């Protein structure tokens, strides 16, 4: 009787485990497929990008352009500089902007200053000195930060003299001929925005800056050029671009209900029929965050904003008269940040899936889905190689080996940021409102220059403890590659045990561990380990 009861309980427990495993497997496969679809979209963008580069080499860009040597064709331009507590970069910014080459009678500069510290007074003094030289520059302050950056841009727009509005964040340093490279494209009255590619003045400062530069380079080559060349939607990147004032008003003006007001207005404008022009060969240098807290904050804002805009724009896109392909790229573009959530789900579930795979024979066939992640990674690897060659100007064996190291490092750390970014994505999809947290700027002149910056966050993120736990969790995942051999119902025989411990000769093809996920778990372990260590100890 007792034996029968134990058998019944054992069978019941096994059934429960089977049901739970089935549910987890479904979630796991759905997340893998989502990542795979995103990878396919990236592959399509690569093809578009390569075709566009080939077209550029042939000089086939016949876009109408203003002749800025003709005074009658020179449009009035307002430059907006939205700033907030920029103690370390304001002097550099104003000096750089004052050197821009453009007819002074057709140029206005607005310093939109929402600062709450002593920089307000110093900035006003610098603006007054520049104004005394004959430069049309004004210092605009507000009594509140309503709408944050979007609110400041909106208030400045209301009194802007220019028909074209160039926008630069405080860490951007456009070259003197920047306006002459961008403004001519507005002769085409359908053009609402001209966006340039970001450069990175401190790319090689640290491993953290190298990784950020790599990710941004992929966006500003494959994604922006790949979409724009085929007429798909792209986004104004918040800075280093020019808007037509009429386009801003026609699209409904700046709104502060998302953390990425630039993406929001970009989609509203393109849904109105405005066209964007992306200039991949016009680089605007800027500074990357050098401390992990600043990088986290920036990533959080960008990823939450992407999810917020998906919620805001999805129905408008689906019900628009856009082509199916453009709609698909729009949706995947706005779901870009959600990929971090899918990667986190795949990573966390991959460890129990390792046990499920070796415990239930019924599920073995379904684990072909694991190959989706491998194929997706291969697609990303190929796509980013072309980006790397274009931006870094490196090829050959030496360049390829450097790329492999860079890609694996980037991929590991990107997965290590998935917890931080997934929290942002969940908040964004829930439409949970939060403050626009600026990214502190540094103007680093020495390796330890960041230490004196008063704006950086001193305490580690609250997520750090969970990232440390996940680092250990994926270490357990690595060890599990060997442990699962002990629980496999039909795989581990006495011969296998003796082979594993050197008590008997092994078959030539015998592998004493499940190798399917071990590389994935090593990368996750290193990625979360890097984020944890940098956040708690190294900081940069």
Residues identified as active-site:
114, 262
φ, ψ at 83 (rounded to 5°): -135, 155
Please report the DSSP string for 109-122 in residue order.
EEEEE---STHHHH
CA distance 38 to 45: 11
φ, ψ at 107 (rounded to 5°): -135, 130
Q: Is 278 exposed, middle or buried (0-12, 13-18, 19+ CB in 10 A)?
A: buried
CA distance 371 to 113: 51
Strand partners, 164: 77, 244
Taking residue 1's Cβ as centre, other Cβ atoms within 10 Å add up to 5
CA distance 209 to 292: 10
CA distance 258 to 43: 29
Cα four-point dihedral sign 35, 293, 468, 465: negative
The SS3 of residue 19 is helix
Tokens of 282: 């016009």
Closest CA to 355 of 486, 473, 492: 486
Rounded to the nearest 10 degrees, how much is the dihedral formed by the CA atoms of 83, 310, 348, 527?
-30
Strands in 137-141's sheet, in edge-to-edge order, are 137-141, 107-113, 77-83, 164-167, 241-244, 191-200, 275-286
Cα 153 to Cα 106, 114, 337: the distances in Å are 20, 11, 25
CA distance 31 to 37: 10
- ∠ CA 182-183-187, nearest 5°, is 120
- ∠ CA 339-343-346, nearest 5°, is 135
CA distance 279 to 198: 10
CA distance 104 to 106: 5
Q: In the chain, how many H helices and how many E strands?
A: 18, 7
CA distance 183 to 132: 26
CA distance 336 to 383: 16
């Amino acid at each position: 009787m007792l034996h029968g009861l134990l058998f019944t309980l054992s069978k019941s427990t096994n059934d429960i485990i089977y049901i739970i495993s089935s549910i987890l497997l479904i979630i796991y496969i759905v997340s893998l497929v989502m990542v795979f679809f995103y990878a396919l979209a990236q592959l399509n963008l690569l093809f578009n990008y390569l075709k566009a580069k080939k077209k550029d080499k042939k000089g086939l860009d016949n876009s109408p352009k203003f002749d800025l040597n003709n005074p009658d064709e020179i449009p009035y331009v307002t430059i907006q500089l939205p700033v907030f507590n920029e103690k370390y970069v304001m002097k550099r910014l104003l000096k750089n902007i004052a050197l821009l080459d453009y007819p002074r009678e057709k140029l206005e500069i607005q310093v939109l200053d929402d600062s709450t510290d002593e920089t307000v007074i110093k900035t006003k003094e610098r603006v007054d000195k520049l104004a005394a030289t004959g430069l049309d520059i004004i210092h605009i302050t507000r009594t509140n930060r309503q709408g944050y950056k979007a609110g400041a841009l909106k208030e400045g727009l209301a009194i802007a003299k220019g028909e074209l509005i160039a926008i630069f964040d405080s860490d951007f340093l456009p070259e003197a001929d920047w306006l002459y490279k961008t403004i001519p494209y507005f002769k085409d009255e359908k053009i609402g925005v001209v966006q340039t590619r970001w450069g990175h003045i401190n790319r090689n400062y640290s491993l953290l800056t190298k990784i950020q530069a790599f990710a941004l380079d992929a966006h500003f080559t494959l994604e922006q050029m790949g979409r724009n060349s085929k007429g798909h939607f792209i986004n104004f990147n918040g800075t280093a671009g020019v808007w037509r004032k009429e386009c801003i008003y026609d699209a409904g003006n700046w709104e502060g209900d998302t953390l990425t007001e630039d993406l929001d207005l970009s989609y509203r404008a393109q849904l109105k029929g405005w066209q964007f022009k992306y200039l991949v060969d016009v680089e605007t240098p800027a500074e990357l965050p050098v401390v992990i807290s600043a990088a986290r904050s920036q990533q959080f804002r960008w990823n939450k904003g992407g999810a917020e805009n998906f919620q805001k724009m999805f129905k408008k896109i689906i019900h628009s008269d856009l082509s199916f392909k453009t709609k698909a790229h729009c949706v995947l573009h706005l779901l870009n940040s959600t990929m971090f959530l899918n990667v986190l789900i795949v990573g966390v579930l991959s460890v129990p899936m390792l046990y499920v795979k070796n415990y239930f024979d019924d599920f073995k066939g379904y684990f072909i889905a694991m190959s989706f992640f491998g194929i997706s990674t291969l697609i990303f690897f190929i796509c980013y190689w072309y980006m790397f060659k274009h931006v870094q100007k490196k090829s050959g064996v030496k360049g390829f080996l450097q790329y492999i190291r860079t890609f694996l490092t980037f991929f590991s750390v990107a997965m290590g940021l998935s917890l931080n970014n997934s929290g942002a994505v969940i908040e964004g999809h829930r439409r949970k409102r939060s403050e626009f947290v600026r990214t502190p700027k540094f103007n680093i002149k020495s390796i330890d220059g960041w230490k004196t910056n008063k704006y950086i966050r001193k305490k580690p993120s609250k997520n750090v403890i969970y990232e440390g736990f996940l680092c250990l969790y994926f270490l357990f995942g690595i060890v599990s590659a060997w442990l699962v051999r002990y629980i496999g119902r039909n795989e581990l025989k006495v011969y296998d045990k003796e082979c594993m411990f050197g008590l008997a000769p092994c078959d030539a093809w015998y592998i004493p561990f499940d190798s399917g996920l071990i590389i994935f778990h090593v990368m996750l372990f290193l990625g979360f380990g890097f984020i944890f260590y940098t956040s708690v100890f190294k900081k940069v």
